[in-house]
Structure 1
């Protein structure tokens, strides 16, 4: 299963090519986007316990910095890059929506491979996901509301249904039955990868007629967006005196988004074209995150400095 999940960018690329060449079967599955993402979020919830939520309160400074960078840098960067590249309104809205989404679940695995602080990564993903119910609709409206109608209330309820409810159910299942679900938990990462790959293929199928004209501009925007997030997370943390492990963790958390959520919200509240940046981001951030993790894995972080936080690493969560 580990080998399958590690090759996620390859499966996503193959799925996208298949959808471009034969879009009809994937277009027929457009109603599956939201349920598939709900399945991914359920799997995320099944890796969490109540302790992961209370961890936010034990590490307020670094958690506040990470979530602050997540919701300050990424939406602004998406908006600025979209304007600089002259993206059409649908792609601009989709790029901002990616930036306004919470941290992605794959970031926890990438953080582990990069020798970052896994406990902090889980805490940041959890915290940004909870805040997303308000932050994502508001920030999307703030940056693109003048160009594209943004249904803030509808997005809020969509996030509640797509993210919070499945995560809460997953946490409940893990709390009550976690000791008996070891084999299922090991399978869920592969299920999540398959679900995200299928979501990407559906979006490519829906955009097949426009891919030739839209994909290159959207791809460039996504690469720049992801790079800015990774750089901001790392260098802001280092400039503020945090240790190497913490800086690596913040880089990964800020740069890797829950692009599946952005895709689901774009399809439901905007258009299929608005979902294209999220689909491309899903492929690219896993590739760039894996490459960065490989680079850092060969360079063990030095002993922590004065601002390092006390951490825990739970083997069950890595």
Structure 2
């Protein structure tokens, strides 16, 4: 294999890489649980890589699409919590699993969605903007939605999350944009590698979450898996369908589908463990793996289309 074909190979086999790493983590958690202290750094690397693939002008165009950003955020914070309730009742899930579904549904978009948008040739600046915007309002909306649906107060410390957003999302993204602007020609030989590096980092983070939740996952109820698959699939479908109904372009509709269907499941796991117990973290742990599987599957289908 020629060295310059490695990035293409990694992008093409993202799903296989993630599944293999997750299987190893499930069989022997210490092989990937060492990643836990480095999760913030890993997320920062992902956003830095995305920044290197973009231009400042890409985000200037998004200013003219603010209604699309608003639509995407509204769909995310309305559709996913409602789907969580409906699916939980339809499948008759145990209360602790239903709680976990709702917690995940109330979370903002995940960073992995930006890489999936890149792989799907969707609107990456729109994806990054929506992830950033939905995360910024999460300290207010996520607890409000959980309280409305579960009548249980949860706490997301506002300033701690703002600092986290800055150092994990904004700072590395802007660094990537600036470096690309200043040293584009010098960096050109390396730019092709950064999306692949982001893919490897995502696979490592997924495997880490799987390893950390091994005991819970091995006691996996089949209904919980079905619920997570339905939640993600219906979220993707609703995001795309409603975006098209609102006359968004196919490229933007794909972006909204990815942003609506892919949640910050890591936050969901943390909130569930802290406020509701380990069993309620199961949907979030499953979501971490499944939404990347479905996202990569969609990306493969969409990436060669130019419409």
TM-score (norm 1): 0.75
Name the counterpart of 1:306: none
Distance 1:30 1:41 in 2: 18
Match runs of 1:1-318 below 5 Å: 1-82=7-88, 84-85=90-91, 86-89=93-96, 92-93=99-100, 96-97=103-104, 100-102=107-109, 104-112=113-121, 118=122, 121-145=123-147, 146=150, 150-153=154-157, 156-178=158-180, 179=184, 180-214=186-220, 216-259=222-265, 262=268, 276-296=282-302, 301=307
Once the two structures are TM-superposed, the CA of residue 224 in structure 1 deviates from its matched residue by: 0.9
Aligned partners of 1:42 and 1:217: how far apart in 2?
38
Q: 1:195 and 1:298 mapped to 2: Cα distance?
A: 24
* Aligned-pair CA distance for 1:10: 1.7
User: Any stretches of 5+ residues in structure 2 without a counterpart?
Assistant: 1-6
Residues 65, 34 of structure 1: alpha-carbon distance in 2 compared, 3 angstrom cutoff: same
CA contact (8 A) 1:44 1:105 kept: yes
2: CA distance, partners of 1:284 / 1:162: 25
CA contact (8 A) 1:22 1:205 kept: yes
- C-alpha distance in structure 2 between counterparts of 1:134 and 1:176, whole Å: 23
Distance, in Å, in 1 between the alignment partners of 2:72 and 2:156 is: 24
Distance in 1, matches of 2:37 and 2:304, equals 43
Change (3 A) 1:189 1:248: closer
Equivalent residue number for residue 310 of structure 1: none
Matched-pair contact (CA < 8 Å) for 1:27–1:205: yes
**Count of residues in correspondence between the two structures:** 292
- Conservation of the 8 A alpha-carbon contact between 1:52 and 1:126: no
- CA deviation map 1:85-138 (0-9, x unaligned): 4255377346633552225112322431xxxxx4xx223322222223443233
Measured after TM superposition, the shift of residue 58 of structure 1 is 1.0
Shift of 1:176: 3.3
What is the deviation of 1:284? 2.5
Sort the Cα spacing of 1:89 and 1:38 in 2 relative to 1 into closer, same or farther, 3 A: farther
CA contact (8 A) 2:115 2:198 kept: no
Distance 1:14 1:91 in 2: 29
Closer/same/farther in 2, CA of residues 215 and 206 from structure 1, 3 Å limit? farther
Distance 1:270 1:2 in 2: 42
Q: CA RMSD in A?
A: 3.3
Q: Secondary structure at the match of 1:100?
A: coil
* Aligned mates of 2:160, 2:9 — CA distance in 1: 33
More displaced 10-residue stretch of structure 1: 228-237 or 83-92: 83-92
Q: For the structure 1 residues 53 and 194, does the alpha-carbon distance in structure 2 shift closer, same or farther, using more than 3 Å as the test? A: same
1:2/1:64 CA distance change after superposition, 3 Å: same
Contact 1:262–1:278 (8 Å) recurs in 2: yes
Instruction: Please list the CA deviations of residues 142-172 of structure 1 after superposition, one character each: whole Å capped at 9, or x if unmatched.
Output: 233446652221xx44543443323332343
In 1, the alpha carbon distance for the partners of 2:174 and 2:250 equals 34
